[in-house]
Amino acid sequence: MTIHIGAEPGQIAETVLLPGDPYRAKWAAQTFLKDVECVNKVRGMLGFTGTWNGHRVTIHGSGMGMPSLSIYVNELITSYNAQTLIRIGSCGGMQTSVNVRDVIIAMTATSLSTPSRGIFRDINFAPCADYNLLRAAADAATARGTPTHVGGIYSSDVFYDERPDLNEQMIRHGILGVEMEAAELYNLAARHGRRALAVLTVSDHLITHEALPAEDREKTFGDMVEIALEAAFSGQ
């Protein structure tokens, strides 16, 4: 047990999928895994361990924003030996070539700041995905025929952004989408020598202002979960 995770040692798999929303963790575990057991309920941040095609997997909520994700990912890595950590979440589209429902696989994650800023200080560290996971996810998405984009995303500290000029600069520099967690996931994976990736579904759009209708969410989010699972165990 850690401060924020009630699981016993061994109850968390080496592969962890991280949706922001704990109820989405429950839905994904019940939908895609077999022999599911709930391994965390502390503060309502649900975590579940089960199997997918015979492989053990944990699906655990990260909460919203990098400070919350940092708590869970630090504990998953240092106390439970998580080796492969894949964020599955939603993002806002930032290019007209990116549509609502598309999947974005985040090669890099730009930010104004992350919880790691205190240790990087004047260095602009470049948080990036694990290449083999990235390639496997892109291959899985292509095989499924899911419209998918691979490139840079923006990890923001705010959902209600009072600085539209920042989004404009991101759009101008080809950033595909905005979310609030991936940059710190990539920082922590780099620090601890683990594999990390973010696979995102475009749920709303900053340019077209389109939003994913509630009834479409399950199917589109399901594609993202299966791409993440296929990437995690590709070649195994």
Residues assigned a catalytic role: 204
Angle between helices 22-32 and 217-232 (to 10 degrees): 70
Closest distance to ligand HPA from the beta carbon of 20 (Å): 8
Q: Is 92 in the site for ligand HPA (CB under 6 A)?
A: yes
Closest distance to ligand HPA from the beta carbon of 161 (Å): 7
Q: What share of the chain is helix, strand, coil (3-state, %, to 5)?
A: 35, 30, 35
Interactions with ligand HPA, residue window 112-171 (CB under 6 A) = 156, 159
CA dist 74 and 61 (Å) reads 13
Q: Is 196 in the site for ligand HPA (CB under 6 A)?
A: no
Q: Is 204 in the site for ligand HPA (CB under 6 A)?
A: yes
Helix (H, G, I), strand (E, B) or coil at 7: coil
Q: Whose CA is closest to 137, among 20, 224, 14, 50?
A: 224
Angle, CA 175 vertex, CA 163 and CA 158 arms, to 5°: 35
Single out the segment in contact with ligand HPA by CB under 6 A; choices: 10-18, 43-51, 87-95, 124-132. 87-95
CA dist 173 and 152 (Å) reads 9
Nearer to ligand HPA by Cβ, of 139 and 204: the residue is: 204
Q: Is 179 in the site for ligand HPA (CB under 6 A)?
A: yes
Single out the segment in contact with ligand HPA by CB under 6 A; choices: 27-35, 52-60, 116-124, 173-181. 173-181
